[in-house]
Structure 1
């Protein structure tokens, strides 16, 4: 996959045709990833670019942050006047406006395509608790079963909460334990019992199985979507307590 720098809009040559070439080349590589149902990291990268573009479009005064050679922190008090002059008179700003108008709908279309793939995979993943679920859900095991091989990958998960001045963010960390080609006798409950015997730190762990019903790339799609499903599921359980 080809990368598009985070500051692609204002970095380097500010020329409509050049930026158009960069963008279309990037979006072509995005489309190839989506055609192979490979969501990550391309989908999150695409979201970041779209959010950055929307921020610049809605709060254009932030553009000065990316033009240190023209507007510096020392000019902060004169910022409003300098910005108005650039918007009204400067050809560079006009080029940026044209590039943003060209890029916005194309980013939006690519995001819609990625969202459809994400929702298709999500709708074809089934999550179910294994055994009795304890009150504490922030640490436990994830059994992730692929399709059509029916290989089950075992993970230990840990839910984390990050907080800034405005809101809380939840994250999920996975540690891979082992892979199993399950036989008929290898039920999820039996797998859980085996792990409990090995791992004395988790005597009664929360355990969940996520089962794929369609084939999709493991690292780029199945694993990251399964993580999000588990995070949502565990967060809902915590909210109920």
Structure 2
């Protein structure tokens, strides 16, 4: 994804599981669709969802609109890391080359391809220990990190950002995946401190419970949650404290 548009490939990862990646992906897709872009969402490995049941891709399409193309490469029944879930189900895992090839096919006919990972960046996808980062490297695609709002998020975000950098990958920015209605002191301070931890800007905050909104309301509001770099209108608040440079 280039600095000011909604074209290309963007990998959506997180600092952990249940962090808000799917709702963030839906918001990105909704904003891009509103801007007239064609959008595809790829989930390399869906775990913990029974055959035929709606997974993360279905949730993104429900919230962002049915015109979003959805693709899921593999589904494993137990809610575990993809490599573990595949092994226990005696099923073939998904490798980074498969992910890259699927993205390249989707990119031929879509302006924007969003790749939503499972869990955090370094969750294993196969017995060789390959990760979403390996697929991103094959694609030369930037990553958007979805992080928590509260205490502990600075460490987890910095670890994720450093893991990207040592692999030669760019952290596009950070989105807070579930911003509370009444943020505590830690959350308010983290909004200022996260860019330092990540070495990249905060590019949005998704309100807690946004995924429960009616789809039309979700689509109407999504642009207010994302920064202009991601096609929205959100802007980070002016810092209330001055940093001292040593």
User: TM-score of the superposition, structure 1-length normalised?
Assistant: 0.29
User: TM-score of the superposition, structure 2-length normalised?
Assistant: 0.28
Larger Rg: 1
- The answer to which structure has the higher helix fraction is 1
